[in-house]
Structure 1
Amino acid sequence: MLFGMHPHQDGPLARLRRGHEDLVLELLRKHGPLSRAELGQHSGLSRTTLSDIVTELIESGAVVATAPETAPRRRGRPVEALTLNPSAGQAIGIDFARRAVHVSAVNVAHEVIGSASEPHDPGLPWEERITLAERLVGTLADGALRLGALNAIGVGVVGPVSDPDSGPPEPCPSADLPALLRK
């Protein structure tokens, strides 16, 4: 279920509203924190529509409004910054390089939660590289990474590289990699 939408609502107005929600979320992903006025300029949505969408996204927990920094007070209401809720989701990236494994985790607000790397011998078997990646992921955020909030995992795998000193490279078990990662 999308934010604020009921499963049985799938008419043209519900689809239009989902499109507006997606637009606001994408703008916050792309630009980071924005004021309501900046969101209005980027989105082209009316103030009323934007207000309704933002209110619903805040109530659903997808977006948070942060109090303005202490700045000289101007007329009107203080400008708050809207941003994606950092605790709304996370993603992990794993890079199986030729001589190292690199892992990083980020939240949906584009903040790096943690990253780690460890070199290894280029001949290290794939099962051991995956074990190394699992161990490194376990160290991210001091072991406090919330796997239940995980939205995505990206995996990069180096292609075959020949090294005259070590002979032909061990082929990546590409067909077996998803199964190995599920262990």
Structure 2
Amino acid sequence: MFTFWLDPEMTSEATSPYPVTYNGTGSVDIVLYYGSNDAQEMVVSVTDAPITLTPVSMLEKWKPRKYYKAGEIIEPTVSNGFMYKCTTPGSSGDGEPEWGAGHIGTTINSGTAQFTHYGAKFVPSDVRLALNRAGLDKADAGSGVSLGKSLQGGSPVAIYMRLTNRFTDVRNDSTDPCIYIGTNKLRFSKQAI
């Protein structure tokens, strides 16, 4: 299966799509390996576009009359640049609450659920991708990285990532990551080598 690996030998699998869970301030560079440890597996793009890995926002919008579990992270239906973590589980109300910019730690009630202002939300432009470390300096923030029309299993592609916190506050979305590295539509197959 084509996925992200923590090592070039493809023995320690990362999750896919890979959740970006940088919890510090400033920037950090990491490298993951994209591929399949099955040398007979092949992946191709289903369109004329190349296989592309791209940072994708997975942050869900608040919904009325929805049960929220503790730890779920959401944003208002009209984004205000912040994310909110459910700290008291329950069902949201019929009408969306006034979120306000507020301060980190401010609580907002919605029905029986309570949310806490969790800080500035992560966005795809917080991530840069490249095929080598030097490429991170030139990579466009939030853009994808192209891997060609097809990939054969057995040999991973190193994917370099620079994760940046644009703010001085430590942000943390490790309980419910809101940025993932996704792919365009792909077709997987097995072939004899």
Instruction: Kindly indicate which of the two structures has a greater share of residues assigned to strand.
Output: 2
- Normalised-by-shorter TM-score class: under 0.3
Larger Rg: 1
Instruction: Kindly indicate which of the two structures has a greater share of residues assigned to helix.
Output: 1
TM-score normalised according to structure 1 size: 0.26
TM-score normalised according to structure 2 size: 0.25
